[in-house]
Chains A and B, each alone.
Chain A
Amino acid sequence: MSREVDDLALWLEDALREVLESMCFLSLEGSTPCQVAASDWLSCALQFAGVPSGAFGLRAPLSMARIMAANFLGREEAELNDGQIMDVLCEVANIACGSVLARLDPQRSFALTPPVPGQFTTREVWGIEGVCRTFTLDEGSIETRLEIGTRE
């Protein structure tokens, strides 16, 4: 990996760790480059505009997403419906993206689109820099993808 991609991977891990520990009470164990995810994983993606612009995606198996949602909302897993689970996945993506962007540039603000359920990569081709990591936890796996472009 290049130095810049190394930095992106580190920021991605730091951001996700911060969000999961403080909002979902979950700890990351380690990470590897992304593998091919099962088709039934839940996913969510959003785009950000600024300098630089890009996209952020997050996906997880239903069982993992359910645990995240239960911890985030302080509810029992059995009480949650599909909409609540997806809503939390999208909010975690939103917060993690904001956390990564604060590391990219702490001075300037970025405009974020609302998270879109069912996406992991965006249709836009950014293609300048990108990193995708699978994070392991005791409870399962989570994947995140960060794409950086140059357009404003």
Chain B
Amino acid sequence: MKILFQALTAWALTSSEDGNFLEPALAVDHKLLSWSDVTGQLAANLLPDPNLFAIQGQADEETFAAIQADTRYLVLWSKQITD
């Protein structure tokens, strides 16, 4: 069973051998199966002081329980999906 959800998150700046990029802090802290940005802030507005934004993600039940317990993130809604 997987959980489909939307949640508010901050941005995280990731530095790697493959260059720097912004990604959801929630996806850094919790291993999501997949996610998509559903706010669509303009890239020009993201540095240096971006607002929170919402992602729609999929996670297994254990990961989703950890997200719900993580006070840094706010789950907007969720539902179980079978696929």
> Is the pairing of A and B real?
no
Q: Which residues of A contact B (CB under 8 A)?
A: none
